[in-house]
Structure 1
């Protein structure tokens, strides 16, 4: 009897230990130079070290943390110029590629430096390319970077727009060791100013895929589009038209499946201009064999709209939803998450189309010289995104939809949350973590004027479970979940604010 009791007690102790370990949180301590307005990027976990890049008014550094988030060293990047235009990192198990561009006099230069796990550099940076833009150019971001899923192919490219009806691509394709595979010069006609480019992707084989889209006269909807593809050793584009069948689309997203050799496009669809969201447009392209697999629209039922609605009417239930994430599944299907997001202000009414494609409603920024395809509301820049006086942000329900390999909806469910804040949205929205057998949704909930980080799990069949409160939640740290990054299969790093300083919390599931 005593033996049985001891076995039961041991099992309970082991279970309690595993539960605690499943939600272990380790915090970094504030560093004197990391104020709330410090910009950062989580690089990842490299040879046991956790690296975070930080930038503040021309000072650049990388903080190196151990597995317990104790600071090992802070390395200043003194070799960088004072005004770095952009910075991209590609993390490997034993090194990090740091690809950056800067302007010197009337030219923009693109370089790549190789960083060790302790944030040191053993060799000189590699010059990739340079471009003369003139002294008075207002838009000096020339180069963009795409990285394949396996990180064995890296593409640096620029798009010249010296003529409105023609884009001239210059591409530089490298392998994971920054050996040049191919460079190309390719032209792509644009017809009119209503056409724009987005959804740039790079396959594991080095194929360059993106969308060329056309907006209607009101600039609110996409009325036509094409899949554009460039093979790594071919200096031409292959164009595959998309058939919208008189539908109007917005917020078009692309997701690659390198295992299946397919590209998936999703977008919310409308029947008429300024109408309500009626369903989801789904298009799958076989880029291995260069053919369309299917193209359809999945209509949202009234029951689904009724479940999705917040304060809107049933017909307008999805008008505030934005596609956040698309995840490929092993059977060739996919999961899609969308979040209800809106703002309210006494000065300006809410308009969905102000938030999808950047200033002017178009995807990217057009300059007389070069085209910058990037616009991301998820980039941490507190000086830009949080200075709207009198504006209230609302981040509410998250819907998860499951589709089979033919694009048919299998099930759907909701993570029910209701968040708002005035003038700033740093602590709102959520982070999704893929731990293999389930998805975890981390988000803040306001409790007695303080934010508490909550954890919901989504099982493979679609069931949503409220998980126990995360252990070791320190009241002094306020999490910013949507700026977090998954750095291993069961570990995430989430930035926090602690006494007006930027800190980081590592959560082990």
Structure 2
């Protein structure tokens, strides 16, 4: 949506990889790295046996490269792909120390630069189960940040940041403290701009299962040891999850959240703002209420008042004209023992991961690697992923158009085949998802134009039977290419779609 390309008609083409005997679906965790040097690379972990599968452009396996230099029981690994190489940043514990290292590998999996230490942390005699360091990168991959957050006795967060260039060379490292006041404060949506600004949100919720009643945007310039904290004017309203999106060209942060007039009330509309990090101030922050007409289009079996209560914001797409596009998906669960509750989902409940259960969190939609059985695996629970709302706002915050992709997806115990993958090809957005057809899932492609018109694309070519698609774990690897994992006869496979 940020740029418009000539519209190219025609059906999409699918290329499949052959399942490898090591990649049993229940044992294999993976990360789609991307397109590097004409190859498509996928990292795999089979019970701490690490390997890199190198596929050609037709998804034929060229080689499987063992990564023997990696330590067993890694805590996390992150990848930053470039045209002819990729960076691997990983961490592991040895005795009472957690180490964070970075290495450079080529398109064939060869080691171009041996692992070098980025930082280490003494953690004591206990075994660390979660990562100590987090890694984020800028949109153009020219900047990478490795950071860790410690908490002192006053609940304040002590940050250690390491700003690196694309070759993992240190630009700046800082130690600085962010006051947190009390346990009601938490952090989210960590991002890094192309010019090295570290940006995230600081939020306050009054109770363990309440929504947000105070919020700030926190900015750290690339070569300073201080935070700039800008408080949001919530205009007496309460917020849901706060989503951020960077506009690197204009040095702006777009933020959006559903808002409520009272704690645990109904979704009334969108709270949206724009922050200019070069000027250090907000350009706009306003309430954008949903009309009755929009709510009527959004509701499924609900009343008009709670039409958006099952929707969660998924993506923000910044437009070149200063406006933005938002997608939100209806999601809920049903269980024999527990009723669905939005607040349990957001703030911790019987369904597992809660993004708001700690002072800072990491999205359940972006784990360091994926397994079809890793997330949303709860016996006795039925998962529902329904309609997708697409809302387009102009630069002044006015709703230009809205549309809805109508779908009704559900599955018991595991949601790996539900939800969708968003593919931005410039001329339009494509929503790839499974649709129930004659008791089987049929991969479906629905496109939306910059004017808000939906087009149901022709059935994808080479859509072989026997492949169970997991679109939500896919990754766009090029301007018109996306790789989506599949399960074939209980083995992990990968399919590339060319638009």
Specify the TM-score bucket, using the shorter chain as the normaliser.
over 0.9
Match of 2:60 among 49, 70, 86: 70
**Aligned match of 1:11:** none
Partner SS state of residue 354, structure 1: helix
Aligned twin of 1:294: 284
Distance apart, 1:183 and its partner CA? 0.5
Larger RCO: 1 or 2 (CA < 8 Å, sep 6+): 2
The residue number in structure 1 matching 2:364 is 376
User: Given the alignment, which residue of 314, 322, 338 partners 1:332?
Assistant: 322
SS at 1:390 equivalent = strand
Of 17, 42, 45, which residue of structure 2 is paired with 1:28?
17
Q: How does 1:85-484 map to 2 (within 5 A)?
A: 85-356=75-346, 363=355, 366=358, 373-379=361-367, 380-484=370-474
Determine the C-alpha separation between the residues in 1 that align with 2:157 and 2:190: 15
C-alpha displacement at 1:70, in angstroms? 0.5
Q: How far does the alpha carbon of each residue in 1:415-466 deviate from its partner, in whole angstroms, 9 at most, with x for none?
A: 1111111111111111111111111111101122211101111011000011
Deviates more, 1:352-361 or 1:487-496: 352-361
Three-state SS of the structure 2 residue aligned to 1:451 is: strand
Give the superposition deviation at 1:245.
Answer: 1.2
Q: Does 1:52 align with 2:36?
A: no
Q: Take 1:467 and 1:387, find their aligned partners in 2: how far apart are those partners?
A: 32
Cα deviation digits, residues 166-224 of structure 1 (max 9, x gap) = 11111101111111100000011111100001111101110111111100125320100
1:493–1:384 Cα change, 3 Å: closer
CA distance in 1, matches of 2:120, 2:357: 20
Partner in structure 2 of residue 3 of structure 1 = none
Structure 1 position 35, deviation (Å): 1.1
TM-score by length of 1: 0.93
Structure number with higher helix proportion: 1
Change beyond 3 A, Cα 1:364–1:273 = closer
The answer to whether the Cα contact below 8 Å between 2:355 and 2:364 also exists between their aligned partners in 1 is: no
Secondary structure of the residue aligned to 1:355 is helix
Say whether the 8 Å CA contact 2:188–2:360 is kept in structure 1: no
**CA deviation after TM superposition for structure 1 residue 374, in Å:** 1.3
Deviations 1:293-349 (A, max 9, x none): 001011011111111011111111100000011001110111000000111111011
- What CA distance in whole angstroms lies between the structure 2 residues aligned with 1:239 and 1:126? 34
Tell me how far 1:475 sits from its aligned partner. 0.4
User: Is the 1:419–1:445 contact (alpha carbons within 8 Å) kept by the matching residues of 2?
Assistant: yes
Equivalent residues of 1:141, 1:372 under 8 A apart? no
On the 8 A contact 1:50/1:65 being kept in 2, the answer is yes
Equivalent residues, number: 487
Judge conservation of contact 2:238–2:261 (CA < 8 Å) in 1. yes
Moved more, 288-297 or 371-380: 371-380
Cα distance in structure 1, aligned partners of 2:234 and 2:304? 25
In 2, Cα distance between equivalents of 1:401 and 1:58:
43
Deviation at 1:251, TM superposition (A): 1.0
Give 1:362 shift: 6.8
C-alpha RMSD of the superposition: 1.6
Q: Contact 2:353–2:364 at 8 Å: present in 1 too?
A: no
- Mapped contact 1:456–1:464 kept (Cα < 8 A): yes
Task: Please list every run of 5 or more consecutive structure 1 residues that lacks an aligned counterpart in the other structure.
Answer: 1-17
1:507 aligns with 2:497: yes
Change (3 A) 1:29 1:363: closer
Greater Cα offset, 383-392 or 48-57: 383-392
| Residues 72-109 of structure 1: per-residue CA shift (max 9 Å, x gap) | 00011111111010010000001100000001111100
